[in-house]
């Protein structure tokens, strides 16, 4: 493969060289065009400088220069895609706390949409989850102050705070008659990314809620404890629950997958240039020793969750049950900008499953679709629109898919997807539900 790629690139380079030698006038035209592009870019930068200076001189009140620059940076990044953003020094520090797995706040994964903060998923056993905040809720006010106009990091910083302090959120839910106000008491959020238990003396259940620096260690501990409780000859397999898991660190997604299959590609990332392609492969061995796996996904399973589900599916290592995942198939690289200047989270690549499929704005489709019975009072907020509904998202390769159920019943006895997973591992035939489009409208 490398030889073929090298040959192709060499052929292109040769063709360019031929043009340069045989048509020097054409080369001058190319150089002139490049110079014109540079000139246009500098002209735009001069325009920015003129506007900046005019604001500094003529605005009705003396502006803060640093805030003007930060606002300009945020506006520039917001024009790219929903996931590229600037973090000032405090925002960068807060993000590092989050990836370490401990911080003070509410316990929700959020994104910015149309100037408001939208909940991707609440984290299990946090104040937000206990207060009833759900995937798809749109936060419009924090302590009676409108969010519109704030950056995502500014809004997140306002939601964080000392433990035991109170915060009031105003949220909008789809098809709700009026905004809902929720009062929450902040807590220290210690994200325990992995929870587990056994079922019926023959199945290990492992729930992964996020991918932070503690996730792989938590998974290893869970598998070790389950194998101590259930003898190998009685262990029918494992359920890996990734529902409403908003994602996290790429390296953790790779190492988690490495712990569940012996070898093979986990994910590849492809940037603007072909030489920027990276491939990540499984390492460390299958800790489950080849036992059958069922992975649960739904509309709230995003990013790193989709990497794990896609890899295990493509290698035929697991059966996927649930509903189509969120569809976030882009990679954000964190670029520190120097002491006191924060960092840039910049979308630098798309990621692809081992079979070469991009899930951007499409999601991962389960092998067996299982729809939950949603209580009447929750039916208007049981759907997550997904990546394809986000303004400015990267276009999909092929048809885009938006809308998937994200409701998970609080009681296991009512959880149809989990029951289906247990049946699958015990050798009971599981029938997929009719496609969602045949049963109810899906928002696009």
From first to last of the 444 residues of the chain, give the pLDDT tens digit.
333 322 222 323 333 332 333 344 455 555 655 666 677 888 889 999 999 999 999 999 999 999 999 999 999 999 999 999 999 988 888 778 767 666 778 988 787 777 788 887 787 788 998 998 988 889 999 999 998 888 887 888 889 888 899 999 999 987 677 899 999 999 988 778 999 999 999 999 999 999 999 999 999 999 999 999 999 999 999 999 999 999 989 999 999 999 999 999 999 999 998 888 999 999 878 999 999 999 999 999 999 999 999 999 999 999 999 999 999 999 999 999 999 899 999 999 999 999 999 999 999 999 999 999 998 877 776 677 789 988 899 999 889 988 799 999 989 999 999 999 999 999 998 777 754 444 433 333
DSSP 397-422: SSS----EE----SSGGG-HHHHHHH
Confidence at residue 37, expressed as pLDDT on a 0 to 100 scale? 61
Q: Which long-range contacts (CB under 8 A, 24 or more apart) does 112-117 make?
A: 112/78, 112/82, 112/85, 112/151, 112/152, 112/155, 113/82, 113/138, 113/390, 113/391, 114/391, 115/147, 115/148, 115/149, 116/140, 116/147, 116/148, 116/172, 117/147, 117/152, 117/155, 117/156
Contact 128, 106 (CB under 8 A): yes
Q: Within its chain, how far is the Cα of 279 from the centroid?
A: 19
Angle, CA 409 vertex, CA 255 and CA 305 arms, to 5°: 20
Look up 415 and say whether it is catalytic: no
Whole-model pTM over 0.75:
no
Query: Between the CA of residue 20 and those of 36, 83, 202, what are the distances in Å?
Result: 19, 41, 70
Give the span between the Cα atoms of 334 and 94, in whole angstroms: 13
Q: Within its chain, how far is the Cα of 343 from the centroid?
A: 19
Contact 425, 292 (CB under 8 A): yes
Write the Ramachandran bin of 101: left for phi over 0, alpha for psi from -120 to 50, otherwise beta: left
Which distant-in-sequence residues (6+ apart) come within 8 Å of 289 by Cβ?
232
Q: Return the number of other C-beta atoms located less than 10 Å from residue 241's C-beta.
A: 26
Say which of 291, 328, 362, 385 is annotated catalytic: 328
Q: Return the number of other C-beta atoms located less than 10 Å from residue 6's C-beta.
A: 10
Say which of 210, 301, 303, 305 is annotated catalytic: 303
Give the span between the Cα atoms of 173 and 276, in whole angstroms: 41
List beta partners, residue 122: 108
Query: Between the CA of residue 267 and those of 186, 220, 270, 278, 315, what are the distances in Å?
Result: 37, 21, 10, 8, 11
What token pair was written down for 271?
Answer: 């940037």
Which distant-in-sequence residues (6+ apart) come within 8 Å of 168 by Cβ?
141, 142, 143, 144, 181, 182, 183, 184
DSSP 160-223: --STT-EEEEEEE-TT-SS-EEEEEE-EEEE---EEEEEETTTEEEEEE--BSTTHHHHHHHHH
Give the span between the Cα atoms of 418 and 295, in whole angstroms: 10
266 exposed, middle or buried (CB, 10 Å; 0-12, 13-18, 19+)? buried
Helix (H) or strand (E) holding 272: none
Contact 259, 223 (CB under 8 A): yes
Look up 114 and say whether it is catalytic: no
Say which of 94, 137, 241, 314 is annotated catalytic: 314
Q: What dihedral do alpha carbons 314, 317, 322, 327 form, nearest 10°?
A: -30
Look up 314 and say whether it is catalytic: yes
Closest listed residue to residue 441, CA positions, set 348, 399, 379, 391: 379
Give the span between the Cα atoms of 71 and 85, in whole angstroms: 11
SS3 content of the chain, % helix, strand, coil (to 5): 35, 25, 40
Give the span between the Cα atoms of 365 and 359, in whole angstroms: 9
Which distant-in-sequence residues (6+ apart) come within 8 Å of 397 by Cβ?
358, 360
Which distant-in-sequence residues (6+ apart) come within 8 Å of 435 by Cβ?
369
């Amino acid at each position: 493969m490398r030889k073929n790629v090298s040959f192709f690139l060499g052929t292109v380079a040769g063709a360019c060289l031929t043009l340069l030698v045989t048509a020097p006038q054409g080369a001058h035209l190319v150089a002139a065009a490049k110079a014109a592009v540079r000139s246009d870019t500098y002209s735009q930068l001069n325009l920015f400088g003129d506007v900046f200076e005019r604001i500094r001189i003529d605005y009705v009140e003396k502006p803060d220069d640093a805030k003007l620059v930060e606002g300009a940076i945020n506006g520039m990044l917001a024009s790219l895609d929903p996931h590229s953003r600037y973090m000032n020094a405090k925002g960068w520090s807060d993000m590092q706390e989050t990836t370490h797995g401990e911080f003070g706040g509410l316990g929700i994964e959020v994104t910015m949409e149309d100037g408001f903060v939208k909940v991707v998923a609440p984290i299990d056993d946090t104040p937000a989850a206990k207060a009833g905040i759900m995937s798809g809720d749109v936060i419009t006010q924090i302590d009676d102050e409108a969010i519109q106009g704030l950056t995502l990091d500014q809004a997140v910083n306002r939601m964080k705070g000392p433990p035991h302090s109170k915060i009031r959120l105003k949220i909008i839910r789809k098809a709700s008659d009026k905004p809902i106000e929720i009062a929450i008491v902040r807590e220290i959020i210690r994200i325990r990314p992995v929870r587990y238990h056994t079922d019926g003396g023959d199945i290990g259940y492992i729930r992964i809620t996020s991918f932070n620096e503690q996730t792989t260690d938590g998974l290893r501990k869970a598998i070790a404890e389950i194998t101590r409780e259930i003898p190998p000859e009685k262990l029918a397999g494992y359920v890996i629950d990734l529902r409403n898991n908003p994602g996290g660190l790429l390296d953790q997604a790779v190492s988690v997958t490495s712990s569940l299959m012996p070898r093979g590609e986990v994910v590849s990332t492809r940037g603007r240039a072909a030489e920027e392609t990276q491939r990540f492969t499984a390492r460390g061995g299958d800790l489950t020793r080849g036992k059958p796996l069922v992975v649960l996904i739904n509309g709230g399973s995003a990013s790193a969750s989709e990497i794990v589900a896609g890899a295990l599916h493509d290698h035929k290592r697991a059966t996927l049950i649930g509903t189509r995942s969120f569809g976030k198939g882009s990679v954000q690289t964190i670029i520190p900008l120097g002491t006191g200047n924060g960092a840039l989270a910049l979308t630098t690549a798309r990621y692809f499953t081992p079979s070469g499929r991009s899930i951007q704005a499409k999601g991962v489709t389960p092998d067996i679709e299982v729809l939950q019975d949603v209580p009447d009072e929750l039916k208007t907020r049981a759907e997550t629109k997904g990546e394809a509904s986000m303004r400015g998202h990267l276009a999909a390769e092929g048809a885009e898919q938006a809308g998937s159920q994200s409701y998970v019943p609080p009681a296991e006895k009512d959880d149809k997807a989990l029951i289906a997973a247990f049946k699958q591992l015990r050798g009971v035939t599981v029938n997929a539900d009719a496609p969602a489009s045949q049963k109810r409208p899906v928002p696009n």
